[in-house]
Structure 1
Amino acid sequence: MLTATTHTAGLREGLRTAHARQGLDIHTLVATPAGVDPHARLAIYANGYWLRLIECLQSDYPALSRLLGPDLFTFFARVYLSKHPSRSPTLHALGASFPHFLRTSQRSRPGQQRQRFPLELAWIERALSEASRAQGLEEVEMDTSIDASTLALGWPCTVHVPATTKLAIVSHTPESFRGWLSGASPSVSPVADRTFLAVRRHRFRVGIEPLIDWQFFALRHAARRPRMLIDCAQAAARRTGRSAGELHALLALWLPTAQASSMVMLTSPSATAELTDM
């Protein structure tokens, strides 16, 4: 019965698969009184299964669901679920690829501009969800001796970007997204220039913050693995065209503030080696 009702191609194909694998037909699967169509009875279970999965996606992407409207969201959700069926014991993994699916669904349309706001809103909602569940810095004891003055004097420092910090380049301002994320349905703002964005969690509360270009590229350099401050400054310099020395000084002033908001963690090289060995 599970094979028939959960098949991604629908109930009819599910019944064919069940018959091919187990040799079972619908009359074996479903006991029905005389005069009751077993297909109609089984369809109730199949529809309930898919509606439940769509509800799970809506709970993961409530702002996107309001933006698209129930009919359009359900359309995309059904196509997505047919291509990415549930394979995890936790429903949190169900919508992991939904932003990527929406982005690829807008390809190969010559002469049409991609609708960026829904794609970016979907990414932000997923990033907020992942940041809320990831292991964060709430129980980590920060090294308060690493401050702006010590960094400005050239104190060596390693920059860690926790799993609760997500980075993206979007084409709308944070204010454009906050209204939708707060439960409202404002009008969609026009496309802006490149906006550098961070999703971060501080004291178990997640939120979005704008970044300056050099802040973004410095953090992105340390996102995959911890990096020395000077390496982050050099990476940001390559992307912005500014001098590494200037950006090193700016990062020395800003990173302690970023650590205070749990966007990064700063450690001495010796402490970083101890963390790596653990």
Structure 2
Amino acid sequence: MPSLHDVQHWLLTVMTTPGGAERGAMLARQTNGLTVAGMIHASRIADPMRRLGVYADGYLLRLYDCLATDYPMLRRVMGEEVFGFFARAYLWECPSHSPTLYDLGEGFPAFLSQHRPPQTDATDGTWLLPAELARFERAWLEAMRDHGPERVQHQALTASPWTSVSATHWEIPPCVRLLDLKLPLIPFWQVMVTSDDIAACPQPENSLVAISRMHYRVSAHPLADWQYSMLDALRQGCDVHQASQRVATRDMPKERVLADWMLWAPAAQELGLVTTRS
């Protein structure tokens, strides 16, 4: 008579093994020697494998629903059939190993990028759109869930920001996500959010984006190269002087970077991209 632990482990293996209940039953038998015939009583209504399949299919469907909820725009763009195909393939290849379903779809953008056909036209945004849109949607979800600046006591900037360069310590809120995209997705996203139409696929173009949350509302903002680099450097722990030195180029020396930063920083703070403390 198998122990309760063995029975639970057997059923979990049957339900969650990539490939379905039959493959799970084979793996469970190899693991602990328990068979379907020995574990499930025969019934006139349905054979044991069919009854186990109800649980295994239900488990997969629940995971699929979570993935579809996390990527609603991608699901609209790809269509139910195509999205379902890639979602199920992802769930088989990257099964859930986390106690929270929030982590389930974290690797979906990379999965779509890795499974893009190898010989694709780099000038055709259609091939890039699924993975790039998935990156955008995942970042949006993470910005919604992570700690934001809502409860942070902001340090008020002085009337002359030049006098506060050394005194102010700039930080990037945990909820901010910086994206280096291959498609300009902000206009595309805005059309998708405000209408039932599917926007035309944008043409490939490097697009730097910050997704932030302020007053519990998530928003996306286009960034210039130096703005993206400054935020990235600050996130890595640099102070504003170190960051401006890292960002500086021959055409944009440190002094100009610092000046532009101090002019832009109050607006960035209002957008929730940075917070300050002494």
Q: Report the secondary structure of 1:193's partner residue.
A: coil
- Residue 184 in 1 paired to residue 200 in 2? no
2:176 maps to 165
Please give the secondary structure, in 2, of the residue aligned with 1:18: helix
Greater alpha carbon shift after TM alignment, 121-130 vs 186-195:
186-195
How far the C-alpha of 1:27 sits from its partner, in A, is 2.1
Distance 2:261 2:119 in 1: 42
Q: 2:128 aligns with which of 113, 116, 137?
A: 116
Superposed structure 1 runs of 4+ greater than 6 Å apart: none
Which one-letter code corresponds to 1:151 in the other structure? W
Matched to 2:252, the amino acid is R
Task: Name the amino acid aligned to 1:126.
Answer: R
Q: TM-score, normalised by structure 2?
A: 0.87
Q: Which residue of 2 aligns with 1:220?
A: 232
Matches within 5 A, 1:219-238: 219-225=231-237, 227-238=238-249
**2:138 paired with 1:129:** no
The DSSP-based 3-state class of the residue aligned with 1:222 is helix
Code of the residue aligned with 2:76 in structure 1: it is: R
Alignment of 1:59-208 (within 5 A): 59-106=69-116, 109-110=118-119, 112-113=121-122, 115-144=127-156, 146-147=157-158, 149-151=160-162, 154-170=165-181, 171-182=183-194, 184-208=196-220
Cα deviation digits, residues 164-187 of structure 1 (max 9, x gap): 111112221411122234563323
Shift of 1:47: 1.2
Amino acid at match of 2:223: L
Aligned to 2:67: 57
Cα pair 1:157 1:228 within 8 Å, conserved: no
Determine if contact 2:76/2:198 at 8 Å carries over to the other structure: no
1:9 and 2:22 aligned: no
CA–CA distance in structure 2, aligned partners of residues 228 and 154 of structure 1: 10
RMSD: 2.1
SS in 1 for 2:160: helix
Query: What percentage of residue pairs aligned between the two structures are identical?
Result: 32
Could you say what secondary structure the match of 1:137 adopts? Answer: coil
Assess if the C-alpha contact under 8 Å between 1:7 and 1:13 holds in 2: yes
Q: Deviations over 1:37-59 (max 9, x none)?
A: 22222212211111111111000
Query: Could you say which residue in structure 1 is the equivalent of 2:8?
Result: none
Matched residue SS, 2:105: coil
Structure-2 change in CA distance of 1:148 and 1:161 (3 Å): farther
CA drift at 1:152 = 6.0
2:4 alignment partner in structure 1: none
Evaluate the alpha carbon distance shift between residue 130 and residue 153 of structure 1 in structure 2; reply closer, same or farther with a 3 A threshold: closer
Cα deviation 1:22-73 (Å, max 9, x = unaligned) = 3221123333423632222221221111111111100000100111111111
In structure 2, the gaps of 5 or more residues are 1-10
Gaps of 5+ in 1: 269-278
Q: Displacement, 1:153?
A: 6.7
Q: Distance in 1 between matches of 2:136 and 2:202?
A: 18
